[in-house]
Amino acid sequence: RMLSGYKPKNNVQDSYKILDLEEGCSLDDVRNSYHNLAKKYHPDSSSGVADSKAFIRVEEAYRVVLSDLAAKQKSEPGEEEEDQFKSKSLQHRHYLSFEGVGIGTPSQREKQYMQFRVDRATEQVLEYRQQRLESRYAGSDLSRAKDVRQSKKVKITQAVERLVEDLIQESMAKGDFDNLSGKGKPLQKFSHSPHIDPMTHNLNRILIDNGYQPEWILLQKEIRETIERLRKSIVASRRKLGEPMTLPEQKQWGRICEQFAEDIRKLNKRVDNFNLVVPILSRQMVHFSTDKEILRARKTYEAVVEKVSGSDMKENEGEEGKRFGWKSSLLKWLKL
C-alpha cells in the first residue's frame, strides 16, 4: 500500500459512508473514526468481527477522505494546517503490539520495546532482592543472637553424642563390656522404660504374662525346628540303606532326595514370609539349598559310620585281650 502508483478504488462519497462520516467533518473526526474501525476490523485485533477485506476498504476510504480534505483546504493553507496534513505513519498498531511503547518504524519500536522489557525485569529483580533481604534481617539483634546461641548448643550436643558413641564402640571392640554382671541373662520383664507411655507398658505386661510372642519370632522358631528335623530324617534314612547301596536301595535313595527337595522348597516359602514380617533387616534369612543339605547329610553319615566302626574295633580288641590275657600272663610268670 506504500507504493507510489497505488490508486484507491473508492470514490469520495463512498469513502465517507464507509467511515460513517459526513462531508465537511474535521480532520480529528476522520482520524477517530478510522482508529475505531481499524481496531474493530484489523486481523490482529482478536475481535469477533475482524476481517482483512473490511479493514482494506476502511484504509482506502481513509486515504480518499484525507486527500479530499487536503484538496479543499489547499487554497488557503496555514502553518498549523500544513503540519496536520504531513505524511504520517499509521498509528493503529500502537493499540495492538509493544504495549504502546516506542516511536518510529515497527523495527525501531520493537528495539525500544525490548529495551523497555529488560529495564523492567531488572527493576523487578532488584525489588525482589531488596524485599528478601529486608525479610531476612527484619528481626532484632536479640533474636539473631538467640538463634546463634541455639545453633551452637545444637552443634555441641551433636558433637558430644558422637564422641560418646565412638567411646562406646571402642570399648566394645576392646572387650571392656565382656565381664559385666548379668551378661547373657534376660532383661527384667517389667522394667519401666521412660520412653513408653503407661498404657503401652501395661499392655506389653499383659501380653508377656499370657505368653504372647511376635509372629516373626514364631516363624523363626518354626523354620529352625523344621530344618533340624529334615536334616535328622535324611541322615536316618541314609543309615537305614547301609553301605554300599544296591540298585533298589539307590532308587529308594533317589525318591528320598526328591521328597527332601520338595520339603526344602516349602520351607523356603516360609523363609520368604518370615523376611516380609521381620522388623530387623539383619535378622532376615536366606534360602536353604537342597544340594548343600544333601551333601551335608552325606558327610554327617560318613562321620557317624567312622565313629561306629572305630568303637566296634575297640570292643573287638578288648574281647580278644580278655580271651588271650591269661596266656600272656602265664608266659610272663614262667619267664620270671
Give yes or no for residue 139 having a pLDDT over 80: no
For the structural domain made of 12-72, what CATH number should be given? 1.10.287.110
What 3-state DSSP class applies to 26? Answer: coil
* pLDDT score for 333: 67
Please list, in sequence order, all residues whose beta carbon lies within 8 angstroms of the beta carbon of residue 249, skipping any fewer than 6 positions away: 241, 242
Q: Is the CA virtual torsion 166, 169, 171, 174 positive or negative?
A: negative
Do 84 and 66 meet the contact criterion of CB atoms below 8 Å apart? no
Mean of pLDDT values over 161-172: 86
Tell me the three cell numbers of residue 30: 476522520
Nearest Cα to Cα of residue 262 among 240, 284, 288: 288
Residue 329 corresponds to which amino acid? S
Q: For residue range 11-34, what is the model confidence (pLDDT) as tens digits?
A: 788 888 888 887 778 888 888 888
Residues, the chain: 336
Q: Using alpha carbons, select from 89, 86, 111 the residue that is nearest to residue 101.
A: 111
Average pLDDT on 292-303 reads: 90
Q: What is the pLDDT of residue 79?
A: 46
Q: Quick one: cell of 273?
A: 514370609
The pLDDT-based confidence of 287 (bands split at 50, 70, 90) is: very high
pLDDT at 80 over 70: no
For the segment 84-124, what is each residue's pLDDT rounded down to a tens digit?
544 444 545 444 567 767 777 878 888 888 888 888 888 88
Q: Which residues contact 332 (CB under 8 A, 6 or more apart)?
A: none
Confidence of residue 37 (pLDDT cuts 50, 70, 90): confident
Residue 133 has pLDDT above 70, yes or no: yes
- For residues 289 and 268, what is the distance between their CA atoms, to the nearest angstrom? 9
Which of 64, 65, 44 is closest to 55 using CA atoms?
A: 44
Confidence bin at 143 (pLDDT 50/70/90): low
Peptide bond preceding 244 in cis form (omega within 30 of 0): yes
- From CA 222, how far away is CA 267, in angstroms rounded? 10
Q: Residue 288's pLDDT band (boundaries 50, 70, 90)?
A: very high
Split at pLDDT 50, 70, 90, the class of 225 is very high
Looking at the predicted structure, is the pLDDT value of residue 183 above 80?
A: no
Q: Which single residue is written with the C-alpha cell 578288648?
A: 318
State the cell numbers at 75.
487554497
Number of Cβ within a 10 Å radius of residue 7: 7
Residue 241 backbone dihedrals phi, psi, to 5 degrees: -75, -30
Range 134-163 average pLDDT: 74
**Angle at the Cα of 16 from the Cα atoms of 14 and 17, rounded to 5 degrees:** 65
pLDDT tier for residue 327 given thresholds of 50, 70 and 90: low
The pLDDT tens digits for 239-280 are: 888 778 888 888 999 999 999 999 999 999 999 999 999 888
Three-state DSSP class for residue 311? helix
Q: Pick from 45-54, 152-161, 251-260 the range whose average pLDDT is largest.
A: 251-260
What percent of the chain clears pLDDT 70, i.e. is strictly above it?
A: 76
Q: Is the pLDDT of residue 197 over 80?
A: no
Average pLDDT over the chain, rounded to whole? Answer: 78
Specify whether the CB–CB gap between 80 and 37 falls below 8 A. no
Q: What are all long-range contacts of 66-70, with beta carbons under 8 Å and residues at least 24 apart?
A: 66/30, 68/12, 68/15, 69/27, 69/30
Percent with pLDDT over 90 in the chain: 15
Torsion over CA: 16, 20, 24, 30 (sign): negative
The maximal CA–CA distance of the chain, rounded, in angstroms, is: 180
- Write the single-letter amino acid at 170: E
